[in-house]
A and B are shown apart, each in its own frame.
Chain A
Amino acid sequence: MINYAINNLVLPKKINFINSRITDKVSHFLFFLNGMIVIGVLVGIFILLVFSAIPAFKEIKILEFLFGLEWNPTSYVEEKFGIVPMLVSTFMVTLGSLCIAVPIGIGTAAYLSDVANGRTREFVKPIVEMLAAIPSVVIGFLGIVLVGPFIAKIFNVPNGLNAVNGSILLAVMALPTIISISEDALISVPKAYEQASLALGATKWQTVIQVKVPAALSGIIAACMLGMGRAIGETMTVLMATGCAPAMPKSFLGPVSTLTSTIAIELGEVAYNTKHYYALFAIGLVLFFITFLINLVSEIVLHKYEQVHR
């Protein structure tokens, strides 16, 4: 190894220690600045969102914004800026997608880590990555042309653009995250657990369900939370497939409009620097906080998981 290092090290012909020390200091400083940029971007996003949202609250009461049951910013009679319908919609499609993606995702992860042989695993990994690489707008398109008509036929509704459709599509998008992180969690469960369980006479199935999944639980929960974060923040799919009606959602088979899709639809139509425009940034701020919280919690869970396994 050291030989390798010597062969590949390009030493200057005349070693100038002072010079190399200066370049070293300079490069260190530049890389440090580079690292700070990341913090700058996050803080920048937050500050710009806050500053763009503040003007909205000069005219809209915060309580009315957070707890208002109606969103109708362009009404001639009385403008309404309540985000509860969107919060409920977002919650509905996210919950729906998790109901589909979590069991299938964990099942697939368990299959890959404990049932499948090495060759299947090698073959499946790129497939899961391919699923993750499909652009969200294509998934949304499939929601219109494929899932929508299918739902309309099964549930006998006039069109299939509703919360169920959104849930199915978001589940497809959350699956790769849930599968790959859960699989990592299951694989990193110490072998001793499995061997002890098998030695006590448990079958492989019992070992997976009763020993390995509980041992990897915090990793699996973190995986599901990251999948959930992705589902909440996803824009194009829900924009295209859920029908986008700003009214309070009545059922899973009715159209819904999430936080993200409302911004996407209305920001294109609104004039810059109006009350409505600022209100959309306020929605963005709410979205930022929600995903921030989810990230924070999943990080705490993952951290705990890492501590247990150290």
Chain B
Amino acid sequence: MNKKEFGQFMGFNLLRMCFFIVLLTLAVISFDIISKGIKAINWEFISTMPRNGMTEGGVLPAIIGTIMVTVITAILAVPLGMGCAIYINEYANNSKITRLIRMSIRNLSGVPSIVYGLFGVVLFVQFMHLGTCILSSGLTLGLMTLPWTITASEEALKSVPNSYRYGSLALGASKWQSIRTNVLPYAIPGMLTGTILGLARAAGETAPILFTGAAFYLPFLPKSLFSQFMALPYHLYIMSTQHHSISKVRPLAYGTALVLIALVFLINFFAIILRYHLRKRRME
């Protein structure tokens, strides 16, 4: 082995080491959460209310709360995100307005989640008088998710070949007709998948719901969209930092972390399955 080859050998191993550090990180994270979280999880944990100041019982209201908020988020972010993606990819030409829209999207995705939280407090909680509730939190998260759903939907629209559009336009279809019949059917699987991935991320967010509706301890299910709620990520935060006997509830915190991760991955998994099925159906 000469000097050059030795250099290559060492260099590649250095890169390999970086790669293994990343793998190791994920392995440690998953091992720790799963091995300790699984002990806390049983049917009672995911199907009952927390009891005795959250030192016993389950996380049912937090699961329901997170799901309800995510649904509100989806109702706001999915149609708006897809519509905006359709506008910038299908209608907009390279004008100043379009560039401004693109710039806004990139900047919105860079705005810290806590700033969205501040925005939600002023706009939804105070200005619109919704108070701290599921609706405020869901809308705040929806605005935060918007740039992600737009970017994902635009990628899906971009992957539809232009010949589909031209073919339909050449046959006399109007712009909207050709988008509806010749672009969207092919883009929808990708758009949905990307959007759902964004929603999964929103479901795990804590900072925007801290002050817009998440509650410390509510041992009952939310009654309406205008009630406060418990959410899994906020519950985990409380259980690991704010609780009066932190070491006692640590197993429950692990259980909550595992349920949260499982929920997020479940949503991701659902998105991938959905894409697979929609693609398969299109092929037939």
Contacts and interface: CB of A to CB of B under 8 A. Distances in A.
Interface of A: 1-2, 4-6, 8-11, 15, 20-21, 23-24, 27-28, 30-32, 34-39, 41-42, 44-45, 48-49, 52, 103-108, 110-112, 114-116, 124, 127-128, 130-131, 133-142, 144-146, 172, 175, 179, 203-206, 208-209, 226, 229, 232-236, 239-240, 260, 263-264, 267-268, 272, 280-281, 284, 287-288, 291-292, 294-295, 299
A111 B88 CA distance: 35
Main secondary structure of the interface of A (DSSP, over half): helix
Nearest to B173: A9
A233 B197 CA distance: 20
Contacts of B123: 44, 48
Contacts of A34: 80, 83-84, 86-87
Contacts of A272: 126
Main secondary structure of the interface of B (DSSP, over half): helix
A264 B104 contact: no
Contact of A267 (B11, B19, B121, B260): B121
Nearest to A204: B8
Contacts of A39: 100-101, 104
Contacts of A236: 206-207, 233, 237
A235 B114 contact: yes
Contact of A134 (B83, B168, B261): B261
Contacts of B260: 135, 137-138
Interface in B230-284: 233-234, 236-237, 240-241, 250, 253-254, 257, 260-261, 264-265, 268
Contacts of B87: 31-32, 34-35
Interface in B156-182: 161, 163-164, 167-168, 170-178, 181-182
Given A135-B261, A295-B110, A263 B118 contact: yes
Contacts of B173: 9, 11, 20
Interface in B208-235: 210-211, 233-234
A263 B114 contact: yes
Given A15-B172, A234-B112, A291-B110, 4 more contacts: A4-B164, A9-B181, A42-B107, A133-B265
Contact of A28 (B108, B175, B236): B175
B57 interface: no
B187 interface: no
B38 interface: no
Nearest to A53: B118
B237 A10 contact: no
A136 B257 CA distance: 11
Given A28-B91, A32-B87, A38-B146, A104 B22 contact: yes
10 contacts: A1-B161, A10-B177, A23-B176, A35-B87, A104-B22, A146-B28, A206-B4, A239-B241, A267-B210, A288-B115
Contacts of B7: 203, 205-206
Contact of B15 (A38, A49, A110, A179): A110
Interface string B122-160: 110010000000000000000100110010000000000
Nearest to A280: B118
Interface string B1-19: 0001101100110111111
A133 B11 contact: no
